[in-house]
Amino acid sequence: MGRGAYALARVAVVVRAPAGWLWWPGLLAAGIGALVPGPTGRAIGLPAGAALFVIAAFGVFAVRRGRYTALARGASRAGKAVVLQDRSVTIRVWRRAHRWWLLSAFLAAVGSSFALPAAGGLLMAGAALGLWAKALWLGHWEREHEALLWVRTESARRGGAAGKEVRGYVLTGLAAGDARAGGARAGGARSQSARGGAARAARAGR
């Protein structure tokens, strides 16, 4: 990376990154838990898990929305000395940094089924749904404002896309990056190189 250059990750991709890794293990943990003869039984465990699913989904979707909105309103245009990080790289970096946390969460969800069958897994799945909903909400903001939101990668790694380390967002045009508004994979789109991403960001920031 050249002098003065810095890398940016899509805000929606950072938000969306944990979703799949919570959804499928959560459903698997819930399925395993439904087979475990816990003391409360499935008649209590499954309704309790369903309630936790809904609470987690709404809670994760709602948390820090005000901060996301404030950061988006104060976002500045990207300059020329930026490199746009590919969607796949953002997800891979997140997965590597949190793999042990994800394994612990899965094991805890399975273990909790011995007390309340399936509840822990449904809690994980609900959190995943909330993250997907938040990413879609960010995508709606991006389409409405015809701009994509980006965050410096080092800030996002330390505290997430809206953590205390994040001082502000950066804006590019809708054509920048290799993901659609909301962070979803761009169907049929060719993954950009770091050099191509920097060039697009420079054009968008002019």
Indicate the SS3 state at residue 148.
strand
Query: What are 102-161's pLDDT values in tens digits?
Result: 999 999 999 988 888 899 999 999 999 999 999 999 999 999 999 999 999 998 887 889
pLDDT attached to residue 126: 97
Burial (CB count <10 Å: 0-12, 13-18, 19+), residue 54: middle
Low-confidence ranges of the chain (pLDDT < 70): 1-4, 38, 187-206
The domain limits of the chain are 6-205
3-state secondary structure string across 23-50: HHHHHHHHHHHHHCCCCCCHHHHHHHHH
Q: In what order do the strands lie in the sheet with 6-10?
A: 76-77, 170-172, 148-152, 6-10, 82-84
52: CB partners within 8 A, 6+ apart: 119, 122, 123, 126
pLDDT attached to residue 23: 96
